[in-house]
Amino acid sequence: MRTSLIVTAAAAALLLAACSNKTQNEAAATADHAGAATVSAANDTAANTQAAAADASAAANQAADSTAHAAGVAERKADAAATAAAKQK
């Protein structure tokens, strides 16, 4: 009777130890996956930030070009108005 109780207790202890190792392995795998997901998210964020910066730079360049063009048009119109006013005198 005592022998079977000792054998049962030993088997239970081995099962608990095996379960604990399995749990540790699963926890380590979960941590690895979480770390990989974090790295992937950081890489995606960096790529998206670079793309957004490039888009913003292109938009700023286009706005500057449009402003320069509009200033040129305004200057030509002002010159034309001054010339017309001079002819009126």
- Reduced to 3 states, what is the DSSP secondary structure of residue 6? helix
Query: Given pLDDT bands bounded at 50, 70 and 90, which one contains residue 35?
Result: confident
The mean pLDDT value for 52-74 works out to 95
Q: How many secondary structure helices (H) and strands (E) does the chain include?
A: 1, 0
2-23 per-residue burial string, b: 16 or more CB within 10 A, e: under 16: eeeeeeeeeeeeeeeeeeeeee
Whole-prediction pTM value?
A: 0.53
What is the predicted pLDDT for the residue at 60?
A: 96
Query: Given pLDDT bands bounded at 50, 70 and 90, which one contains residue 78?
Result: very high
